[in-house]
Amino acid sequence: MKVVVVSMIRNEGDIVEAFVRHHALLADHLIVLDHASTDGTAKVLQLLVSEGLPLTVRRDDSLTFQQGPRTTALAREAFIECGADYVLPIDADEMLRVDSRDALEAALRAIPPGYSGHLAWQNYVVTTNDDPAVVNPVARMQFRASSEPMPERKVVLTRQMLGDDRWQVAAGNHSLVMETPQGTRTTPMHALNGAMLAHYPLRSQEQVHQKIILGWLSTRLQDPAGLASAKQLVSSNEFSWHWQHLFADTLRDPTLSREQLLEYAMRLYVHKRADMIATDFVPLVEDPIAVNYALRYTSASTSIALTSLAQWTDRLLTRLSAMPNA
């Protein structure tokens, strides 16, 4: 069995090395698309390639965030060029949690014909118990929500998607969909037994600024008129609604304490309610995941979001100037 992990990432310099090393112990190969990162992400990825890890790195310098089409292309590359039997689209802030490679293979073989697999999230959060001297967020953040009131799932792909070019990975890697004259068709999904995704969405003030400022602006650039501005907050039914809420709050006050990072993670990723009262949060449980590798290239500091925003804006203006009638 050949298992390939694919990922589209951007400005994940604090966690990308952990992501690659963690999954290199479970998968046969990784294909990572670096979406115009302006922090240390690209350098870390090249160092990991030079080290000889089973990693292929692609670069995409586009300004818009189009995760679905690009992840679909990565998945097809994994099936066709790498000979994958199963493809796992996983974000850089997600770590596959399974006892062993044998356990993973058993879970994948159990996916019925005609089905996709799916992995459920376990959301890990910043707490005041975290040791700031620990550089690896996966080792530093040891507490997660004890339950997931609004459970999230991520798709696991079989070779079925090669049977028809209309199959596409949905935005957010949540499902495999096909547009037909009768409407959107989605494959039935089978939960992988004994496998989860540990999710580390908010890790530090610097990381949140990198993620949210460029993430939301890149998403809005796809449809500037259609997507609401920071002053017109959308509901949780909208894609990337949590980015928009964090962007609006960042404009009001960019400082984020560990207590605030915890509250944001619980509201926007666990309960998916921006107005959730902290006293109603589900309790936390200490449940660290195994870290069976050492980091070599990750530093304690990350690039500030202002620098990334300046570079992104400069590229945007350059491209606008090259357009007809600009």
Q: What is the pTM of this model?
A: 0.87
Q: Determine the pLDDT at residue 297.
A: 96
Domain extent at residue 204: 1-319
The pLDDT assigned to 282 comes to 98
What pLDDT shows up at residue 245? 76
CATH number at residue 236: 3.90.550
Mean pLDDT, 10 residues at a time, over the chain (326 residues)?
Answer: 96 95 98 91 97 96 78 96 97 97 98 96 97 96 97 95 92 92 93 98 88 76 64 56 77 87 93 92 97 93 66 69 67
In a domain, 324, yes or no: no
Q: Which pLDDT belongs to residue 252? A: 83
Res 250: pLDDT: 79
Q: Is 293 a domain residue?
A: yes
Buried b (16+ CB within 10 A) or exposed e, 53-71: ebbbbbebeebebbbbebb
* Domain count across the chain: 1
| pLDDT the model gives residue 76 | 96
Q: What is the pLDDT of residue 270?
A: 96
pLDDT for residue 65: 63
- The answer to the question of residue 265 being in a domain is yes
pLDDT given at position 247: 81
Q: Is residue 190 part of a domain?
A: yes
Q: Is residue 48 part of a domain?
A: yes
Please report whether residue 196 resides in a domain.
Answer: yes
Judge whether 325 lies within some domain: no
